[in-house]
Structure 1
Amino acid sequence: MKVLHVLYQSLPTKVGATIRSRDILLSQKSAGIDVIAVTSPFQYGLTNENLYDEINGIKYYRSFFKTRHNEAVDENQKSVFILFKKLYRIFSFIRIIYKLAKNEKVDVIHAHSTFFCGISSWIVCCLLNKIYVYEVRSLWEEYRKVVSKNFRAKLESNIIHYIESFTIKRAKHVVVISEELRENLLKRGAKDNKISIIGNAVNINLANNTKRIEEKNEYLTLAYIGSVVKIEGLELLIQVMKELMHLKIILKIYGKGPLLLDFEKTIKNQEISNVIIMGEVEQEQLPEVFSQLDVIINPRTKTKITDEVTPLKPLEAMAYKKLVIASDVGGIKEIITDKYNGLLFKADDKESMKLLIQQVYDNGIDHYSNIIANAMDYVKKHRSWDTNALKYKAIYNKLLDKNL
């Protein structure tokens, strides 16, 4: 069985979506599936000169080449001209997917959101009579509603909602990462028997093979690891930490994003001495970073997108045997049962967050050893990529049997 994964982003870009894609491909390869990938015209390669990059023994074919006729499209530019320029690239992307799928004799084309990849893959599957699987990890139009409230953002969200719904309904099968996303797709008209939930997961072996530093520290060290964006609720967390400066608690913020400079200014101007901006952390540095922490905190705000999307970092923290405390938004409640494998506070509630952090400090981290053990057991049984790979394989086999 040969599967072509169509990705909007991939390595060498390192964000949550590309890490999930990496782990999907690696786990499927380990499960005996022949996998290759092709990336959108907006994803740089390692050199931007080769037809493909080989990463972890897997070929990532590139549709972006750095020439004077194919300059990069800046993802941060939001003009109407740039939007049409991006949409125009879909035609060349379809040709590349078609040629690759035909030459490589793939059995399944597995597209990963956004619709740019989905529509392109669906057209190729129609032309070549291939199986089209679409994976929805989040809905971009929901994020647009959060970050911008103007008329243009609303119009864009409505248009993309329609296109995404069209793309979803054309798939032979749809994979989502959460129950909330499944419910969303059902409301759009997707059929229940064509939807599977395959949630975020972790590489258990990587965490198990990591040497841990078990030094006793008089300070309780909390950390946030991820994108520094509005929906993550870091502004409220920083204000909570300001009110806890009389206690021996430190918060380290790892990551990058549009709000990072604002937070640095806030910390400096308000003299919040117990919050440290650590900057971006590379994936290979995570074992060392986790070894120096006591608690991972995810203070996500209550929005439609945070109710639907499950974050990856809490699962990684569980695998590294760290206590996870987080807000009670839908996406987090799908992976954390309060007081069983983590601790939850009320989303957007400053006092609730503050009281929980103070409670953990007063009790001491050893008080939560059972919760930490339960969390590790949970990811081993339900959130490993080895298990997920078998779920994907079963979906592909079932679809191929029907297509005979």
Structure 2
Amino acid sequence: MTTRILHVLDHSLPMHSGYTFRTRAILRAQIAKDWDVRGITGRRHGAKGPDEEIIDGLHFHRTPGRPATGNALMREWRDMGAHADAIDRLVRDWRPDILHAHSPVLNAMAAQRVAKRHGIPMIYEIRAFWEDAAVGNGTGTEGSPRYWLTRQLETHAVRAADAVAVICEGLRGDLLARGIDPAKIIVSPNGVDMDQFGTPVPRDPALAAKLGLEGADVVGFIGSFYDYEGLDDLIAAMPRLVRARPQVKLLLVGGGPCEQALRDQASASPVADHILFIGRVPHDEVERYYAQVDILAYPRKAMRLTDLVTPLKPLEAMAQGRLVAASSVGGHRELIEDGITGTLFSPDDPTAIAQALSGMFADRGFWNARRATARAFVEKERNWASNIVRYEPVYQRLLTRPDRARTAA
């Protein structure tokens, strides 16, 4: 009998984010193994559409209604309750064998209510701790009462789950420090769907001419513009980098909360004409911009979020055959071996960024070998087609545990 897995999500396709792309990769890989898979999103899924839809071959259900308003705690409690009710209705109708809840913690709490009611095992997958993500995007403060409360909720959800998956060793280490049983935790690292990113497109000369990149050394960043990404440090590094490499250009593709501040900073730079903002581009156009870039730069700032969590974008760049240079925060060190698969530089240091990038441009002799080594690492270690096997023994253990007894709906 085919195993049915219901993924409990914050948001999904057609929205585009690292969160939705990881979800797509997981669901696609599980479907390829002939598992019956669906997802249900909470009220923070902001894309318009029907309450049930199939996108890119993936089956999604939506929690009806708009996000609640008012006091933050009451708002989140109401949204969690609505999400739990929607999950419960779907469980009664579709009868999944496993609930696979993904962070933030409100999803785990909603799924846990339903799992307990129906006797269904639940795995909780943490992509980042909610309290640290809030600090990273500027909506929270480390050490505040809200931060403390969210951390307690996270710990409680982990203890209540039947199994826990984390995306990196940094998150696993933090849970172990909280006293969580290591036998309960698996690491399911970020990976790349090689069918999606594994075939780099050739550089488009017409696009290069349109952007003014002909003959340029191109540094690029493609992603979301959050403060923790350190793009202000990258822009601050440009005058020194231009002095060393007069033909260098910085290509910034994407958008986000810090976009206007970054545009203002770039406009005031003495090398403003070397900094190009493209804005957001359709997802099916992203590879055309990857192809314009010589080195993808990821200058993340040093903080708990970046030390604990591994990003997805450097892996996608490696799969595209691009060189990567990144700050030496913990999340990057888990992905990138300095001098082997990429170049690491000190975080929060524009001078270090400029020196690392100018050094890479000055010596192109290693480029082809490094590209090949980095791509081979992704294919072998961070390919979703192989990563997905990490879930199988956990699912099997949960489905065959002696105390499992589904409650009648």
TM-score, normalization by structure 1: 0.92
Partner of 1:39: 41
CA distance in 2, matches of 1:152, 1:232: 18
Amino acid in structure 2 at the alignment position of 1:242: P
Instruction: Work out whether residues 36 and 59 of structure 1, in 8 Å CA contact, stay in contact via their aligned partners in 2.
Output: yes
SS in 2 for 1:6: strand
CA distance in 1, matches of 2:227, 2:48: 30
Partner of 1:85: 75
Residue 146 to residue 311, structure 1, CA distance change in 2 (3 Å): closer
Structural mapping, 1:202-281, within 5 Å: 202-213=192-203, 218-246=215-243, 247-271=246-270, 272-281=272-281
Structural mapping, 1:273-292, within 5 Å: 273-292=273-292
Partner of 2:362: 362
Q: CA deviation at 1:207?
A: 3.1
Partner of 2:7: 5
SS in 2 for 1:395: helix
Structural mapping, 1:181-192, within 5 Å: 181-192=171-182
Q: Which moved more, 1:152-161 or 1:383-392?
A: 152-161
Partner of 1:118: 108
CA distance in 2, matches of 1:212, 1:398: 45
**Could you list the runs of 5+ residues in structure 1 that have no partner in the other structure?**
65-69, 75-79
Moved over 6 A (4+): 149-153
CA distance in 2, matches of 1:144, 1:89: 18
CA distance in 2, matches of 1:208, 1:187: 37
Instruction: Work out whether residues 144 and 153 of structure 1, in 8 Å CA contact, stay in contact via their aligned partners in 2.
Output: no
**Could you list the runs of 5+ residues in structure 2 that have no partner in the other structure?**
206-212, 405-409
CA distance in 2, matches of 1:8, 1:335: 25
Q: CA deviation at 1:163?
A: 0.6
Partner of 2:28: 26
Instruction: Work out whether residues 245 and 273 of structure 1, in 8 Å CA contact, stay in contact via their aligned partners in 2.
Output: no
Q: CA deviation at 1:72?
A: 4.2
Amino acid in structure 2 at the alignment position of 1:138: A
Residue 170 to residue 44, structure 1, CA distance change in 2 (3 Å): same
Number of aligned pairs? 391
Residue 149 to residue 397, structure 1, CA distance change in 2 (3 Å): closer
Residue 90 to residue 143, structure 1, CA distance change in 2 (3 Å): closer
Residue 45 to residue 348, structure 1, CA distance change in 2 (3 Å): closer
Does residue 188 of structure 2 align to residue 201 of structure 1? no
Q: CA deviation at 1:41?
A: 1.6
Q: CA deviation at 1:18?
A: 1.2
Residue 208 to residue 183, structure 1, CA distance change in 2 (3 Å): closer
Residue 151 to residue 350, structure 1, CA distance change in 2 (3 Å): closer
Q: CA deviation at 1:275?
A: 1.0
TM-score, normalization by structure 2: 0.90
Q: CA deviation at 1:55?
A: 1.1
Amino acid in structure 2 at the alignment position of 1:34: D
Deviations 1:148-176 (A, max 9, x none): 59879811111100011100111111000
CA distance in 1, matches of 2:174, 2:198: 36
Query: Percent sequence identity over matched residues?
Result: 28
Q: CA deviation at 1:45?
A: 4.4
SS in 1 for 2:155: helix
CA distance in 1, matches of 2:140, 2:66: 30
Partner of 1:391: 390
Q: Which moved more, 1:318-327 or 1:185-194?
A: 185-194
CA distance in 1, matches of 2:57, 2:82: 26
